[in-house]
Amino acid sequence: MSLADSRPAPASSLWGRLRGQRSILPGLGLSLGITLFVLSLIVFLPTAAMVGDAATLGVGGLVHLLATPRVLGAFKVSLGCAALAALTSAIFGLLIAWVLVRTRFPGRRLADAMVDLPFALPTSVAGIALSTLYAPNGWLGSLVAPYGIRISFTVIGVYIALTFVGLPFVVRSVQPVLQDMEAEQEEAAHMLGAGRLQIFSRVIFPAILPSLTAGFAMAFARGLGEYGSVIFISSNRPGVSEIVPLLIVNQLEQFDFAGAAAIGTLMLILSLALLCGIMLLQRLVRSGRHG
């Protein structure tokens, strides 16, 4: 249990307001005013505009639009690649987090800092780098080209790019939980005769599962919306390797505002659902860490 949790809620708690007390701290009006003003101009109003434009299509129009092969294909590519990439990130992210927390090797701090590279590297930079790297004449692409495998300019490239952007989410979600784990349970399991695999699957894995799932969901959400790093490495062919964000851009360029708004709204709903799931998982992780 941390210090902050045991302290009574600062300022005006609900209880305080019910009893007619007010916080002695100033500035609620000003700070809340600025917050709501900025949020309105940047988030609320634009969201309303998009949802409103999507609504002009009506239910029939929406269903018709979403059932077109191109839209269906884009969702298949985006959902499929994002899920596979998030799964890859989850597996290797867990391994990397484990190695960073539980082992010592030269260059560990450097490796730890490197994990955040996909967060810090602009997506267009990642895009051209990955595309060049995995092109048939690139450093990595030329290794698999003799076997007839093409990565850049195919849907596999989309998967590679999404794995790149998703990896840090898993590592940074699992790492603190691994760090906080107390040694007692593992020691007890060891004393009671559990083997290494048993300790991992029965003691450690259940403890990190919520954080691993949260990391997976964050990587998936990021992958679903990713644009910059994908468009360079993908062939962007409708129905084959066209992702949903690119489809939205293409519709916008053809002045199909209602169609773009409809697909954008669907993406927004997906993000919100994922966001809620992630918040619930993170609450679970926090209660696990402090409780």
Interface with other proteins in residues 218-277 (CB under 8 A): 221-222, 224-228, 232, 244-246, 248-249, 252, 257, 260-261, 264, 267-268, 271-272, 274-276
Map the footprint of other proteins across residues 69-88, applying CB under 8 A. none
**To the nearest whole angstrom, how small is the minimum distance from the Cβ of residue 60 to other proteins?**
21
Least distance CB 2 / other proteins (angstroms): 8
- C-beta closer to other proteins: residue 73 or 259: 259
Number of residues that bind other proteins (CB under 8 A): 113
Residue 64 Cβ, how far from other proteins at the closest point, in Å?
20
Taking the least distance from each CB to other proteins, the nearer of 9 and 59 is 9
**CB of 68: closest distance to other proteins in angstroms?**
18
Residue 75 one-letter amino acid: F
Q: Which of 95, 237, 239, 283 binds other proteins (CB under 8 A)?
A: 95
154 to 173: interface string for other proteins, x by CB under 8 A: ---------xx--x------
The interface region with other proteins, picked from 61-69, 111-119, 145-153, 234-242 by CB under 8 A, is 111-119
CB of 155 to other proteins, least distance (A): 18
- Binding part of the chain for other proteins, among 62-70, 149-157, 191-199, 234-242 by CB under 8 A, reads 191-199
Taking alpha carbons only, the member of 67, 46, 39, 77 closest to residue 261 is 46
Beta carbons within 10 angstroms of residue 268's beta carbon: 16
| Region 19-58 residues binding other proteins, contact defined as CB under 8 A | 23-28, 30-36, 38-39, 41-50, 52-53
226 vs 281 by CB, closer to other proteins? 226
